[in-house]
Amino acid sequence: MQVRSVALLCAVSLAVVDAARLVSDSRRVMEPGVFLEATPSWTQGRRCQDSHTISALIMLKHTPEGRAQLEETFWAVSNPQNPRYGQYLTQDQLTDIIKAPAEALVTVVDWLKSEGVTNFQVSANLDAVNVILPAPKAEKLFDTTFFEFKHSTANQTILRTGKPYTLPTFVANVVDLVADIIRFPAIPSVKIVEEEGVGAWPSDCGSHCKSGWTTPGVLTQRYKLGAAPSTVTSGSTFATAEFQGQLYTEKILNDFASDCNLPNGVKVDHQIGPDSGSFVCNLGACTESLLDIEYIKAVGGAIPLTNVYSSTYSLLDWANTVLNLGDKDMPLVHSVSYGNDEKQQTGAEYMYQVNTAFAKFGARGASILFASGDQGVYGRTGPGQKVFNPDFPGGSPYHTSVGGTDFLTDQIGDEKTWQDGGGGFSNTFGIPSYQAEAVAGYKSSGVELPPADLWNNTGRGYPDVSALAGVKAPYCVRNGPIYAGVGGTSAACPVVAGIFAKLNDVRMSAGKPPLGFLNPFIYQNAAGFNDVTTGKNNANGPYGFEATKGWDAATGMGTPDFEKLAKLVV
C-alpha cells in the first residue's frame, strides 16, 4: 500500500508542503482535553531510553463528504429492511470513499521524511500513517517527553507521553490526533473464582472443572447451539483481539480441547503479531486471552480463528491492523473484551476516529462485539462522583455491546442480570434509530428508573445483547497448567461472537452475504433472543438499571437462541 500511495501522491507533493511551511512553523497542542489523572492506576517511572521504540498512528482528518458517504453506506448495508442490505464494499471501494485528501497525506509523509523518519506505513484506506521510531526521535517529532508508566496491580509497563504533545501547525491542520501516545489503557478485569459454582449439572470436562462451573456443554444446552461446525466451507471466520501480554500457548489450548472433549480442537489458525511459540504464560498472565480463545472456539468449532495481538492496548491501532487486511483475509466477526470509560477518553476526535473505524468494518461486512464492562453502571471510574460512568466503546452506536447474565436458579435455564455487568446510556452519543423504539419502550415500561440526574436520557443505550458472564457459575478456563473459574462480560463477548460466526456460516452456506454490523438485525429480531427480565446492574452503588420485558439497559435484547436465530438469518 505504501508504494501505491506514495506514487499516487508524488505529483502534488512538494509545492503543497513548501507553501504550508511558509505560512507558519509554529506548533499546535493536540488532544489538550486528555487528562492523565483520569486513569490513576498508572504511575510514571523513568524517562524513555534510546532503546525504547514508540509506535504511533497519525490519524488524518476525513473530508465531511467522505465521512457522510461512509455513514450512508454503513447504515444502508447493515439494515435488513434496506434494499442494499449485505452489499458490502471491498477494501478498495472503501478507500475511494474515505481516503484523506491527497494533499493532506502528502503533507504528513513529506513532513516525516523531512524529519528523517523512514520507518512508516500508510494505511490501506489512505487516511492514517503508522510511524515506528526510537523514543528520542519520537520526542523530537511530537515535541514531548515519553516515560515508562507502571500499572498499580497488573505486571505491565507501557510507554506514554508525560505531557500533551504538539504538531507543527501545517501538520496539525490535516491531522485529528496521534494514537495512542497519551491515553492509558484499562487492564482487563476478569474475575477469578476458586469456589464451586451453584449449578447442579454434570461436567462435560470431567473433574477438571469444579462442580457448577460453566463449560462448553452448558453453553450448548442453554443457547441451543447444536453441534459445533466440524467443517466450514462457507467462508465464515472470526477473530479475537488481545493486548498487554495476553497470549496463549498451543499446549494449553490443546489440553482444554481434549479435557472438554471438543472434537474440532482449539487452535489459532492465523496469528497477527508476535508468534505465540516464543511466549510463556505466567500463571494468570494470559487469563483473558485463554478465556476468549477457548470459548470462541468451543462455540464456533472449525470456524477459522485469527488472533490479533498488539502489545499496547490501542483501539485505533487494532482497527487499523484489521482494516489493512485484504478482502480475503479480514475476519468477519471480532470479539474484543477490553474497554474504558467515556470519561477516560475526553477527546471528541478520538471517539470520532474510533466510530469511523467501526463504520469501516461494517461497510466491509464485518461485525464487532465488545464486552460492556464489569463494574455495573458506575464503570471503571466508580461511584465516587455519584453519577453513572458509561463505558467506551460501550456507548458507541457503531458496534455490538455484550452484557452479562447469571443463571436464575441452579439449573441450566432462565437467566437474570449479572449485577456487575456494564450497561446504561452514553453521555456522548445520541440514540441511533435502530434502537429508538426499544429504548423508548424501556423508559415507558413502568420499570423503576434510577434518579434522572445520574444518567443521560438522550444517550445511546447499551448493552445490545448479553450472555452468561457471572461468577455464580464461572467459566471453566484452562488458565495455564491448571483450571480457573472466570467471570465477566469478557466471557460473554466471545460466546456471543462465536454464535454470530455460526449464524454467518448458516447464512453464507445458503449463498447469502455475512451479517455485517449486527444491531439493526438484532433489534428487528427480538424473537431470536431469550428475554432476561430480572435483576439490576447496581453492583458498586445504590442504583442501577433493572431488567424487564423487552430491551433494557441491563441485558439488552437478552441472550441468543441459536436455533431460533438460525431460522431468522436466512
C-alpha cell at 102: 491527497
H-assigned helices in 145-286: 169-172, 216-222, 250-259
* In contact, 387 and 504? CB cutoff 8 Å: no
Instruction: Mark the segment that binds ligand NAG (CB under 6 A) among 191-199, 455-463, 530-538, 559-567.
Output: 455-463
Least Cβ distance, residue 110 to ligand NAG (angstroms)? 38
What are the beta bridge partners of residue 309? 242
Least Cβ distance, residue 526 to ligand NAG (angstroms)? 24
Q: Which is nearer to ligand NAG, 155 or 385 (CB)?
A: 155
Residue 355 touching ligand NAG (CB under 6 A): no
Residue 466 touching ligand NAG (CB under 6 A): no
Residue 119 touching ligand NAG (CB under 6 A): no
Three-state DSSP at 49 gives: coil
Residue 430 touching ligand NAG (CB under 6 A): yes
Catalytic, 546? Answer: no
Residue 427 touching ligand NAG (CB under 6 A): yes
Which residue in the list 110, 234, 490, 561 is annotated as catalytic? 490
Strands 391-392 and 340-341: antiparallel
| Count of residues that interact with ligand NAG, criterion CB under 6 A | 8
Note the Cα 555 to chain centre separation in Å: 18
Binders of ligand NAG among residues 224 to 253 (CB under 6 A) are 245
- Binding-site string for ligand NAG from residue 249 to residue 288, where x marks contact by CB under 6 A and - marks none: ---------------------------------x------
Instruction: Mark the segment that binds ligand NAG (CB under 6 A) among 104-112, 296-304, 361-369, 451-459.
Output: 451-459
CA-based max dimension of the chain: 75
414 is in an annotated binding site: no
Instruction: Mark the segment that binds ligand NAG (CB under 6 A) among 119-127, 456-464, 478-486, 509-517.
Output: 456-464
Three-state DSSP at 248 gives: coil
Instruction: Mark the segment that binds ligand NAG (CB under 6 A) among 76-84, 134-142, 180-188, 454-462.
Output: 454-462
Instruction: Mark the segment that binds ligand NAG (CB under 6 A) among 51-59, 119-127, 194-202, 452-460.
Output: 452-460
List all residues 6 or more positions away from 117 whose beta carbon is below 8 Å from its beta carbon. Answer: 131, 133, 137, 141
Residue 456 touching ligand NAG (CB under 6 A): yes
The CA–CA distances, whole Å, from 44 to 48, 151, 185, 230, 569 equal 11, 9, 14, 49, 50
3-state secondary structure 96-158: HHHCCCHHHHHHHHHHHHHCCCCCEEECCCCCEEEEEEEHHHHHHHHCCCEEEEEECCCCCEE
Least Cβ distance, residue 458 to ligand NAG (angstroms)? 4
Three-state DSSP at 238 gives: strand
Name residue 434's amino acid: Y
275 is in an annotated binding site: no
* In contact, 396 and 422? CB cutoff 8 Å: no
Residue 481 touching ligand NAG (CB under 6 A): no
The CA distance from 220 to 55, in Å, is 42
First to last CA, the chain: 37
Which residue in the list 148, 292, 374, 464 is annotated as catalytic? 292
Catalytic, 490? Answer: yes
List all residues 6 or more positions away from 118 whose beta carbon is below 8 Å from its beta carbon. Answer: none
180 is in an annotated binding site: no
Per-residue buried b or exposed e for 209-244, using 16+ beta carbons within 10 Å of the residue's own CB: bbebbbbbbbbbebbbbeebbeebebebbbbbbbbb
Residue 381 touching ligand NAG (CB under 6 A): no
Least Cβ distance, residue 284 to ligand NAG (angstroms)? 8
Which residue in the list 139, 288, 317, 374 is annotated as catalytic? 288
Q: Using CB under 6 A, pick the residue from 43, 116, 458, 549 that binds ligand NAG.
A: 458
Residue 155 touching ligand NAG (CB under 6 A): yes
Least Cβ distance, residue 390 to ligand NAG (angstroms)? 9
List all residues 6 or more positions away from 127 whose beta carbon is below 8 Å from its beta carbon. Answer: 59, 60, 62, 98, 99, 100, 105
Q: Which is nearer to ligand NAG, 151 or 472 (CB)?
A: 151
**Helix or strand holding residue 476 (H, E):** strand 475-478
Catalytic, 288? Answer: yes
Q: Using CB under 6 A, pick the residue from 393, 459, 544, 556 that binds ligand NAG.
A: 459
109 is in an annotated binding site: no
Q: Which is nearer to ligand NAG, 282 or 409 (CB)?
A: 282
- Active-site annotation, residues: 288, 292, 490
Name the binding residues for Ca(2+): 531-532, 550, 552
- Catalog residues that contact ligand NAG under the rule CB under 6 A: 155, 245, 282, 427, 430, 456, 458-459
